[in-house]
Amino acid sequence: MTLTRRAAIAIGLGAPLVLLTRPALASPETMNAAIAEFTDGRSVQEGRITLDIPVLVENGNSVPMTVEVDSPMTPEDHVTEIAVFNERNPLPDVVRFRPSPALGLARFQTRIRLGDTQKITAIARLSDGTLWSAAMTVIVTAPACIES
């Protein structure tokens, strides 16, 4: 069966989304401000970093995310910091990784919360000072039959 959105709301769908997004919502502007602070006004190029998040997630409370930078991770050429930002959670910062070249591979996996369907942006700073970015939109669905 497929219930209409109204019927689904009657059964309790949708409620969990409200939880995370109720307080002073971050906005594309607050995300852009956080990004500007991170990049210190320098230009950001697209590429070298990849963001892997399932496009459609079953519950915004736990969304698997992998971020990887194409880097040899040598003392001469490595990633110094990766920052991940979101558009619509109450705070724009998701996570930051500061690796040393000793890691050998700049790939990080974690699980994040997304209060709503939104755009995620990842930016890597390399040892030569250049900045690289990737972005994607994630659609968050909600489970049914939640406790009220």
* Residues near other proteins, by CB under 8 A: 1-5, 7-8, 10-14, 16, 19-20, 22-23, 54, 56-59, 61-64, 73, 86, 89-91, 93-100, 102-105, 107-114, 141-148
| Identity of the residue, 19 or 45, whose beta carbon is nearer to other proteins in the bound complex | 19
Mask for 3-32, x = binds ligand HEC (CB under 6 A): --------x---------------------
Which candidate, 116, 58, 120, places its Cα nearest to that of 93?
A: 120
Q: Which amino acid is at 119?
A: K
Q: Which amino acid is at 25?
A: L
Q: Quick one: what does residue 126 bind among other proteins, ligand HEC, none, with the CB cut-off 5 to 8 Å set by partner type?
A: none
Cβ neighbours of residue 58 closer than 8 Å, sequence gap 6 or more: 141, 143
Residue 144 engages ligand HEC in binding (rule: CB under 6 A): yes
| Identity of the residue, 19 or 36, whose beta carbon is nearer to other proteins in the bound complex | 19
Which candidate, 24, 8, 30, places its Cα nearest to that of 94?
A: 30
CB 111 within 8 A of CB 95: no
